[in-house]
Amino acid sequence: MKKVNLAEKFNLFNEYWAPRIVGELNGQYVKLAKFNGEFMWHSHANEDELFLVIKGTLKIELRDGVITVNEGEFYIVPKGVEHKPMADEEAHVLLLEPKSTEQTGGIDSDLLVDEQPWV
């Protein structure tokens, strides 16, 4: 395994809400994604999901409030918790989640990216 330069990897794609895989460890994927606008309400019944903001600001709407995650901060959405990620401007986010995690929590949507490529 070679070291990974996050800035270089983020420069390889421009699509929003379309995660790219950059690493794998202990049954987890390390993914990079660019967020802009709103995603959709969803949950993951069996997996926690970590959002680490590399650039920009991410808001994670929960049914009982909003978590604002700034550069250099992360938030873990516990399994089973409904959430809706959103960003008022482009945000670069590192995700850490089990390989089995479905992007939309099993909900069919135009936002679903079935095949998440390695970069």
CATH, residue 33: 2.60.120.10
Give pTM, 2 decimals.
0.89
Is 80 exceeded by the pLDDT of residue 31?
yes
- Assess if residue 87 is contained within a domain: yes
pLDDT, residue 99, reads 82
- Assess if residue 112 is contained within a domain: no
How many domains does the chain contain in total? 1
CA nearest neighbour of 80 among 106, 55, 115: 106
**Conformational region of residue 106, where left means phi above 0, alpha means psi within -120 to 50, and beta covers everything else:** left
- Assess if residue 69 is contained within a domain: yes
Contacts of 113 (CB under 8 A, 6+ apart): 17, 18, 19, 103
- Assess if residue 13 is contained within a domain: yes
Residue bearing the bigger pLDDT, 112 or 11: 11
- Assess if residue 89 is contained within a domain: yes
pLDDT, residue 74, reads 98
- Assess if residue 103 is contained within a domain: no
pLDDT, residue 29, reads 93
pLDDT in tens, 37-52: 999 899 988 999 999 9
**Structural domain boundaries, residue 38:** 6-98
Both tokens assigned to 98: 């089990």
pLDDT, residue 117, reads 74
- Assess if residue 75 is contained within a domain: yes
pLDDT in tens, 68-119: 999 999 999 999 999 999 999 999 999 998 887 666 555 555 655 567 778 8
pLDDT in tens, 50-59: 999 999 999 9
- Assess if residue 118 is contained within a domain: no
